[in-house]
Amino acid sequence: MSKPLILVTNDDGITAPGLRALVRYMKEIGNVMVVAPDSPQSGMGHAITLDNTLYSKQVIFEQGKDAPVEFSCSGTPADCVKLALQELLPKKPDICVSGINHGSNASINVIYSGTMSAAIEAGIEGIPAIGFSLCDYSWDADFEPAEQFVKTIVRQALERGIPNGVVLNVNIPRTNGESPKGIKVCRQARANWKEKFDKRTNPMGKDYYWLTGEFVLLDKGEDTDEWALANGYISVVPTQFDLTAHHAIQDVNNWTLNE
C-alpha cells in the first residue's frame, strides 16, 4: 500500500522549530508536503488575503529521497492551505496537520489561532485535520516528550477517520522533559481574556498601543482541556466549524420577527 500524503502547515512560519519537529514525526508515517507561511502569522485567526497578491516558492531544508517537498507562502495560514490544495499539491492529501504551535491554543484561544484556522480550512475541504500546540512559547521549546503521542493521534486519525465537519484541537502540556501522563478527550473550557492596552507615545508624539491581557478561566470542570493540561495530560478537543447554536434556534424563533 502506498503511504498517505500528509500536508503540514503552521502559523509560526516555515522555519519554526515546532513545524520542523512535526515534519520529522510525519515522515515516519507518510509522504510529507509542507506549505507554511514565510514569516510568523500568530493570532491571524482565519484571515485570508484579498487585497494583495500571494507569492510562493519552493524551499529546501533537507536532501534525500524521503525529503519533503516544501513551499513557503507570503500569506496567512488559511491562505497556505487554500494554495496547497488548489495549486501546489499533486493530489488531495489524506490528512492535514498544523503546528506544532509554540504556545497554547486551548479554550478560547482556538478562536484567534492561526494554527487551528489552517486545520479548519482543510476540514472545510473535507480533509481530516488536526492542530497541534505545545504550551510553551519559547523558540527552543522541547517537543520531543510528546513525539509518540503526536504520531499515535495521527495514525489513529488515518486509520479510524475523523467525523465530517470536525477538526481535532490537540494541546500538549509543558512537562519539563517528562512524558505527558496520557491523552484526555475533552471539551473546550469556558474562559476569556481580560484585555489591557499598554499606551505609549513615540518620539514624534504619536500615541500607540501594545495589546496585553490576562487569561481568565471561568470553568472548574474536570472534563476540560484546561484541566487536562494543568494535570499533565494532552488534551484532544473535537472542534466543529459549523458555528450555528442549534440549541438557540427555537428561542430566537419565538421572537416577534415578521410583524
What is the DSSP secondary structure assignment for residue 224, as one 8-state letter?
B
Q: Are 5 and 93 in contact (CB under 8 A)?
A: yes
Cβ neighbours of 63 (radius 10 Å): 7
Binding-site residue positions: 11-12, 42, 101
Q: In angstroms, how far is CA 76 from the centroid of its own chain?
A: 12
CA-CA-CA-CA dihedral for 167, 19, 39, 32, to nearest 10: -80
Q: Which amino acid is located at 172 in the chain?
A: I
CA dist., res. 234 & res. 237, Å (int): 10
Q: Are 171 and 146 in contact (CB under 8 A)?
A: no
Residue 92's alpha-carbon distances to 28, 110, 167, in angstroms, are 20, 25, 17
Of 85, 83, 86, the C-alpha closest to 72 is 83
Q: What does 136-197 look like in DSSP terms, one character per residue? A: --STT---GGGHHHHHHHHHHHHHH---TTEEEEEEE---TTSPP--EEE-BPPPEEEEEEE
Q: Where does residue 160 rank: exposed (0-12), middle (13-18), buried (19+ CB within 10 A)?
A: exposed
Site of grid cell 479510524: 160
Binding-site residue positions for a divalent metal cation: 11-12, 42, 101
Site of grid cell 500524503: 5
What is the DSSP secondary structure assignment for residue 190, as one 8-state letter?
P
